[in-house]
Amino acid sequence: MARILQLTDLHVFASAGERLKGIPTRELLQQVVDHVLATEPAFDRVIITGDHTHDEQPESYAAVRDILSVWADQLLHVPGNHDERRLMQEGLSAVSRHANGSDRLTFCSDIDNWRLIGLDTHVPGEVAGHISDDQIAWLTNRLAESGASHVGLFFHHPPVDVGSVWMDAIGLANRETLQTVISADERIRLACCGHVHHEFTFDLGSARIFTTPSTGIQFDPQGTTPRFATAAPGYRVIELQPDGYQTHVVRLPTIPYAPVND
Q: Which residues bind Fe ion (CB under 5 A)?
A: 9, 51
Question: Nearest 5°: phi and psi at 250?
Answer: -120, 135
Residue 9 or 84 with smaller CB distance to Fe ion? 9
Q: What is the DSSP letter of 225?
A: S
Please report the beta strands in the chain, taking only residues with DSSP state E, as ranges in sequence order.
2-7, 45-49, 75-78, 107-111, 114-118, 150-154, 188-193, 200-204, 207-211, 218-219, 228-229, 234-241, 244-251
CB nearer Fe ion, residue 48 or residue 238: 48
Comparing CB distances to Fe ion, the nearer of 5 and 12 is: 12
Q: How far are the Cα atoms of 31, 114, 185, 186 from residue 147, in angstroms, in the given order?
A: 39, 9, 13, 13
158 Rama class: left (phi>0) / alpha (psi -120 to 50) / beta: beta
* SS3 category, 60: helix
Measured between alpha carbons, how far is 234 from 218 in angstroms, rounded to an integer?
9
Buried b (16+ CB within 10 A) or exposed e, 175-204: bebbbebbeebebbbbbbbbbbbbbbebee
**Distance in Å, CB of 252 to Fe ion, minimum:** 18
Nearest approach, Cβ of 10 to Fe ion (angstroms)? Answer: 8
In the chain, the amino acid numbered 51 is D
Question: Residue 9 corresponds to which amino acid?
Answer: D
Shortest Å distance, C-beta 83 to Fe ion: 10
Nearer to Fe ion, 109 or 121 (CB): 121
Number of residues in the chain: 262
Cβ proximity to Fe ion, 170 vs 237, nearer residue? 170
Least distance in Å: CB of 180 to Fe ion?
Answer: 26
Nearer CB in complex with Fe ion: 114/228: 228
Please state the φ and ψ torsions of residue 152, each to the nearest 5 degrees: -120, 135
> Minimum Å distance from CB 194 to Fe ion?
6
Nearer to Fe ion (CB atom), residue 51 or residue 120: 51
Q: To the nearest whole angstrom, how small is the minimum distance from the Cβ of residue 31 to Fe ion?
A: 18
Least Cβ distance, residue 217 to Fe ion (angstroms): 8
